[in-house]
Chain A
């Protein structure tokens, strides 16, 4: 995760003529719009809808300008500590029921919901100010009338097999006799 110099400057000195714009995006194969097209929940911490350009490697609409809706939310950025999987907790306003209407589509499916955090700057909406962006997996979500609260984590790196290189017949056909 590398922050752009402009974002580092904004975090450090809080210039009054520029504003950091925090965004969250949620992905799941079951998230479709009214025309049946695959879509994503995209929210921004502001009072207006913003058209922001996604990174080229985005899972949906990569390299395109897309709308982020102004929905109140709060979050804590993931910390990085020894022996701990980074987690990110968030709360999104559910008064408009924007999030729950999509969450209900994903209930009962085993495919995890992906969450992407991208910071932008008001002065530069042509790309996220972080490369790569933080992509996490939603592990828990509780919805109430007022808000949806959830936790997202990075991939569970602690339980990856080690060594992960395996001699399998698929990779090494000579093993089959």
Chain B
């Protein structure tokens, strides 16, 4: 069955409720050195969009009939503009959902697109760099989580054992970038072709209390795009093993204070001062 176009008589999808991300995460295997190996599920990846419409009663009827007859009850492909780009998609089995919204109907449908294969270039031995035309993370929703290099007993009785197992400090962080429609396209092209669907390491922005610089980072999960006004927010979770930390020499410059703190037993002093005066 040949793909059909989304009917012109129906309204365009609205921004509310829009979301796009890959339908499957790459497999990650933890190796003995605490690093992860990434294996992609397939060469070309499936991308899922959540689309929403606000339709009149008649438009909703036409939409239902269009799925029934033009899309062979939802089994067919159709072309619709997403982010201004004509995209070939097909409905997922769980969609669509109709909810009354005042005098109109809210219609939600999840669709999937088979994205093009990455254009893999020959190995250069040089890490790709975050494109200068892409923004860095917003302060809003940026967070860093240190993965402690510990291993802990998995027996659920007694006092659990713990020890440091790995030398490397894995740091995972989440960030959100705000993109124009052009930057959004550039981001997904960079993610697919240069980062081979997000599985390659690259020099990307990383901010911590120590420094705000570019570090060797990699995607942990597939990015998720949502609309923000006329722009797009792309939320991403990344990891690095190169998070900068204060050197031991620099740390020792504060050793007097640190030793004072321990020897003076500030905790007890605070306690005495606060509750006995």
Contact = CB atoms under 8 A, between A and B. Distances in A.
B37 A47 contact: no
**Chain A interface helix/strand/loop/mixed:** loop
B67 interface: no
Contact of B117 (A14, A21, A48): A48
A128 B44 CA distance: 20
Interface in A1-52: 13-14, 16-17, 19, 21, 45-48
B200 A47 contact: no
Contacts, number: 34
A21 B41 CA distance: 10
Which size class do A's interface residues fall under?
10 to 19
B114 interface: yes
A19 B41 CA distance: 9
A46 B37 contact: no
Nearest to A20: B39
A47 B43 contact: yes
A122 interface: yes
Interface in B2-46: 29, 37-40, 42-46
B43 A46 contact: yes
B196 interface: yes
B272 interface: no
B152 interface: no
Interface string B28-68: 01000000011110111110000000000000000000000
A46 B196 contact: no
Which size class do B's interface residues fall under?
10 to 19
Contact of A45 (B42, B46, B114): B42
**Chain B interface helix/strand/loop/mixed:** loop
A122 B46 CA distance: 18
Nearest to A17: B120
A47 B115 CA distance: 10
Contacts of B200: 16-17
Nearest to A21: B43
A47 B46 contact: yes
A48 B114 contact: yes
Interface string A47-64: 110000000000000000
Interface string B98-132: 00000000000000001001001001000000000
B120 A46 contact: no
Contacts of B117: 48
B42 A14 contact: no
A47 B114 CA distance: 8
A140 to B, nearest CB: 28
A124 to B, nearest CB: 13
B240 interface: no
B44 A46 contact: yes
B172 interface: no
Contacts of B120: 17
Contact of B196 (A17, A45, A47, A48): A17
A63 B3 CA distance: 35
A47 B44 contact: yes
Q: Which 5 A-B pairs have the closest CB atoms?
A: A16-B199, A47-B42, A46-B42, A14-B37, A17-B120
Interface of B: 29, 37-40, 42-46, 114, 117, 120, 123, 196, 199-200
19 contacts: A14-B29, A14-B38, A16-B196, A16-B199, A17-B196, A17-B200, A19-B42, A19-B43, A21-B43, A45-B42, A46-B42, A46-B43, A46-B44, A47-B44, A47-B114, A48-B42, A48-B43, A48-B44, A122-B43
